Amino acid sequence: MTLRKSIELSLLVGLSIYCNAPAQVQEKSPTYQGLQLSLQEIWQKAESQNKSLQIQQVQLEISEQHVKDSKAERLPEIRAHAEYARISNMPIYTNGPFNTPEHFPVLHNFYQITAESYLALYHGNKINTAIETEEMAHKLAIEKRNQIASETRLKLAAIYLDLQRSLVFRDLINQHIHEAQRRLQHIQELQKNGVVLKSDLLRAELQLSRQQMTLTEIENSILLANQKLDLMIGLPDTTKIIPSEDLTTSQPIQAGYEAYLTEALEQAYPIHLADKETAIRELHIKEVRAGHLPKVGLFANYTYSYPQIFLYPYMDAAYSIGKAGIRLSYSLSSLYHNRHKEEAAILEYKKQQLVKADTEDNIRQIVKESYVRYAEALKRIQVAELNIRQSSENYRIVSNTFFNQLALLTDLLDADTQVLQSKFDLTTAQTTAHLHYYQLLFTLGKL
């Protein structure tokens, strides 16, 4: 499941629970006390406290160390070692291997201390290519960190909006339960006077019990959404958060689809990631091809040794010797060892080009869907506002006729449900519009 679809699912998961939920109430419940935070403040806390972002920050620091390590390859290699050995006797078979050999005196103790260094001057530009590769990998890590940060903000926005919607529904259900209780008392009086049937009373009681159960489910949803937010922004998971965003206002569509698409193809995180992956594959080809070229470097070594067995005649004495110069080497085996490596690197590059093209196609589809869905959500708000006016007028007419004994209780309850449902639809449309707006910003690489 994609990130976008999973967020939509988490935001709309309460639809079946709240399908009979009551109308929107803008004022907060006075009994709900907590930490009031805007979405921007939620995002700011996540920047320093979110575990996923902290992991990406550590990964970014690791890539910085890889860059420094690759640059250190330009420095000379310096090695030193010390050796002690016990030399065995040396028989000389002057008369053949099947005759008794002659033995010559041998100094059995051997000591040696060596220091050597090597500075690469040329290796087919392999060192510079490796540095460029690590620098590009570091830029890739930065883009990944930015993408994870944007995804985290989108997740937080979805949970934040879900919490805000749940709080609105909680206030709505409380108000509806209060009104349903008063209506039930009135119906009980009418039933005692024989005006309504016992079945009507039972139907009203059933509706009230369902709303009370829905209130319990809403309270649980608020509790769970609070914990998710708390954990993602580093707060104690018992902290109550009160969203302060205004759901009644939505950002209008500021450009056409083509303008958004052009912006996304330039700024979207998947495009940047694909570009840098392609650059890394191209650098890898250069690195493999460097294996066909010779190596040139400066070298120097110094040896202190005992006994002197480096030059003839040998002597029972310590000696030291040093040498320095330029070294040229070429691996003949690279002619056949690197051939398949180079072909594989070229194929990896071609594969990454296809991945980039596929990424662009996906961006086109996602931008189109986000654009259409956001426009649809804005339209749905207008429809929901119209439905509220129509259902409210219908409820007023049915209510008057019911209490004049010209309509059935079922008609009244249905009319009441239609009002509540239309207001629920408005809240859902407003919440969904905000979510689609953030999804569009995420797709454009601007969240």
- β-bridge partners, 329: 295
CA 263, CA 331: separation in Å to the nearest integer? 49
Q: Contact, 117 vs 299, CB < 8 A? A: yes
CA 115, CA 109: separation in Å to the nearest integer? 21
pLDDT value, residue 247: 80
CA distance to 97, 378, 382, 419, per residue, from 249 (Å) = 103, 10, 12, 21
Handedness of CA 282, 284, 287, 289 (dihedral sign): negative
If one counts the domains in the chain, the total is 1
pLDDT single digits (tens) 198-217: 887 888 888 888 888 988 99
Structural domain of residue 288, as residue ranges? 3-443
pLDDT single digits (tens) 233-287: 988 888 899 888 888 777 777 778 888 888 898 889 999 999 999 999 999 998 8
Reported as a pLDDT band with limits 50, 70 and 90, residue 184 is confident
Burial class of residue 15, CB neighbours in 10 A (0-12, 13-18, 19+): exposed
Which pTM value belongs to this model?
Answer: 0.77
Window from 12-16, 333-337, 340-344 with minimum mean pLDDT = 12-16
CA 356, CA 429: separation in Å to the nearest integer? 35
Contacts of 6 (CB under 8 A, 6+ apart): none
Other beta carbons within 10 Å of 6 = 12
**For residue 292, what is the domain's CATH number?**
1.20.1600.10
pLDDT value, residue 11: 40
Mean pLDDT (whole number) for 288-304: 88
Q: Contact, 433 vs 384, CB < 8 A? A: no
pLDDT single digits (tens) 365-422: 999 988 898 888 889 988 988 998 888 888 888 888 876 767 777 788 888 888 878 8
